[in-house]
Structure 1
């Protein structure tokens, strides 16, 4: 399981610098100790969802921005893996798979596929990104020259502006496809 603290640490520093506010001011606005924020920015600690929400409010950013990773190539997240946070008072775990950049458009598709003829896609518009989660069966998915085998629950993100393929490896393979264009 990927621990998000290093991702969160970089995002906290980046977003605090973007606002031009001091460590003390963000701590005050979030209602947390300055030492806690300092530790989090250093990549130490295990913040709860509640602490992260407070920081997001203080920084005036959406929650997911704290866990954004720059993705310029394919990204695969296996079922149950990925940056995650847990709640203090409930049996609740949130695993971030992807965020939507400002001004982007997303189309969501349900795929129902069978083995046989592979689905080869030509490059879409520049900057296009595709996100796919296999929900049943197995498939080979991604850029034509580096497709990855996925099982139920696995996630992949890859550039849609490059040639890519979807190949069902089992009968009745199902997936959710999210096509994102800027």
Structure 2
């Protein structure tokens, strides 16, 4: 897997501007709703800065759009993402990286991610859009994930599903843990 941690800044900047203008919010109002600094949002819309998973999730929730809409490049008819490529976004609270593999359409609101985790922290996720559901299949390593009060432990090939609209977390129990995460949005 590639060690390039740089997020797709130009894609994020264009998507944030478009989604913010689509819902008719000022930078100040969107920053307030997302609980981030106005200067942070201004930097992101200008294509600079280093957005974390948490910041982009907060913006997605404030805009009522899936996380993927903020990091996905426009689709082509055939799309291949080579191992280690794709828009990689890091967490600021844990050794957790999410790579968007596929974003849903307006008719099939689901996003597919490759997530990579190391055992030195817990990735705690705030609730996503109402009625969202997460599906996880572990590819390697061991993973503890799920709602805060009902986590499960998974190994290679194991699958779990749980509500994404409640606080939940991901924790690697072995080095080199990775999984496929599918998020459904109503």
2-structure distance, mates of 1:45, 1:13: 15
Q: Of the candidates 94, 100, 115, which is equivalent to residue 96 of structure 1?
A: 100
SS where residue 96 of structure 1 aligns? strand
Following TM superposition, where does structure 1 have runs of at least 4 consecutive aligned residues deviating by more than 2 angstroms? 72-76
Change (3 A) 1:105 1:28: closer
Q: Of the candidates 7, 16, 23, which is equivalent to residue 20 of structure 2?
A: 16
Higher RCO (CA 8 Å, separation ≥ 6 residues) = 1
Q: Of the candidates 63, 66, 79, which is equivalent to residue 62 of structure 1?
A: 66
Q: Structure 1-normalised TM-score? A: 0.54
1-structure distance, mates of 2:85, 2:36: 29
Matches within 5 A, 1:7-86: 7-86=11-90
The 8 Å contact of residues 15 and 69 in structure 2, kept in 1 or not, is answered as yes
1-structure distance, mates of 2:78, 2:22: 28
Report how many aligned residue pairs link the two structures: 107
Change (3 A) 1:79 1:34: same
RMSD of aligned C-alpha atoms?
2.0
**Bigger Cα Rg:** 1
**Deviation string, structure 1 residues 150-169 (Cα, Å, up to 9, x no partner):** xxxxxxxxxxxxxxxxxxxx
Q: Structure 2-normalised TM-score? A: 0.53
2-structure distance, mates of 1:49, 1:94: 8
Unaligned runs of 5+ in 2: 111-138, 140-186
Q: Please state how far the C-alpha of 1:93 moved relative to its aligned partner.
A: 0.6
1-structure distance, mates of 2:13, 2:72: 11
**Deviation string, structure 1 residues 79-124 (Cα, Å, up to 9, x no partner):** 0110010111111111101111011399xxxxxxxxxxxxxxxxxx
